Structure 1
Amino acid sequence: MTLPQQAVLTVSQVAVHLRELLESNPYLSDLWIVGEVSNLRASSSGHSYFTLKDSAASLNCVLFRGQGGAGILDNGKSVRAHGRMSFYEPRGSTDFMVDRVLPEGEGELAQELERLKARLAQEGLFEESRKRPLPQFPEVIGVVTSPTGAAWQDIQNVVRRRYPLARLLLSPTQVQGLDAAPMIATALDRLDTDGGPDVIIVARGGGSLEDLWPFNEEIVARAVFRSRIPVVSGVGHETDFTITDYVADRRAPTPSAAAELVVPDGDVLRQTLLAWTEQAQRSVLRAVEGSRAEVATLSRRLDAGLPDLGNLRRQVDDLADVMNNSLAGRMRMARLEVDGLESRLRTLDPAATLRRGFAMVQLGESGGVVSSISQISGGESLTIRVADGSFSASAGSDRTLDSEAENSQAENNQAERYQPENDGPDNDPPVDQQPGDQQIEPPTMEEPAKQDPPEPAPLPPAPPANRRQRRQPPEPPGMARLL
Structure 2
Amino acid sequence: MLEDPARDVLTPTQLNTLARDLLESAFPLVWVEAELGNVTRPASGHLYFTLKDARAQVKCAMFKPKSQWLKFVPREGLRVLGRGRLTLYEARGDYQLVLDHLEEAGEGALRRAFEELKARLQAEGLFDEARKRPLPLYPRRLAIITSPSGAAVRDVLSVLARRFPLLEVEILPTQVQGATAAAQITSLVQRAGASGRYDIVLVTRGGGSLEDLWAFNDERLARAIAASPVPIVSAVGHEADFSLSDFAADLRAPTPSAAAELLVPDRNALDARLQGLQRRLSALQLQSLRQSMQRADRAVLRLQAMRPQARLQLLQRRQQEARRRLESAWREQLERRRSSLRHAAAVLRATQPQRRLAMLRERLQSLGLRPQAAIARELQRDTLKLRALARSLEAVSPLATVARGYSIIVDAEGRLVRSVSQAQPGDPVSARLSDGELKLRVE
Structure-2-length-normalised TM-score: 0.44
Q: Which has the larger radius of gyration?
A: 1
Which has a greater percent of helix? 2
